[in-house]
Structure 1
Amino acid sequence: MSDNNQKRDEVSTQSIVILLICFFIWGVAKNIDKIESWAKAHWFILSLALAAIIWGAKSFLNWKLRMKHPEMYERQMALEKMKRKEKYDE
């Protein structure tokens, strides 16, 4: 009985999400000319925001890789330390 109620809740939630997505798409389509003119006026800030998002995603993925494979990260850091020491000794 509980499975049926849970499935109904999931279907209801999915329906609401689909309706919200459709409403959002309709709103964007209706105001696309205003959005385009705003984007042309603020292209520099938008490009900086995109660069920040890309840098943040790259940093997050590097951190996640370090957490998943710490031995590989430690090996890489040791190699970099050895290279710095060799460069300093020269």
Structure 2
Amino acid sequence: MEGGAYLLVVKGNQPELHRRLRSLPWKDVTARRYDRETGHGRKETRATRALTVTDLGLDFPHAVQAARILHYRTDPKPARSAARPSQASLQRLGQLARSQ
């Protein structure tokens, strides 16, 4: 990533932007990455997809790329309680999201 790149994590607390991001054509994305890890008795899988959003009418100023990261975790123990040069690679997006 070059220059003033910024990662904005969008969750349900931003309902309108979250809705617009969910409506992007994620099924058509061919750039996908799957990361699998095992640790602390858990198996985790992160599925990362990314697409360029400049021509998709997202209406979010200066947004160039959107990523969707789905996280799956299998815990065998019961729960205790309730690609342009200026764009990040799929691996980097996954690393950035994990660091949040």
Q: Please indicate the TM-score interval, normalised by the length of the shorter structure.
A: under 0.3
Whose Rg is larger?
1
Structure 1 length normalisation: TM-score? Answer: 0.21
Structure 2 length as normaliser, TM-score?
Answer: 0.20
**Structure 1 or 2: larger strand share?**
2
Higher relative contact order (CA 8 A, sep 6+): 2
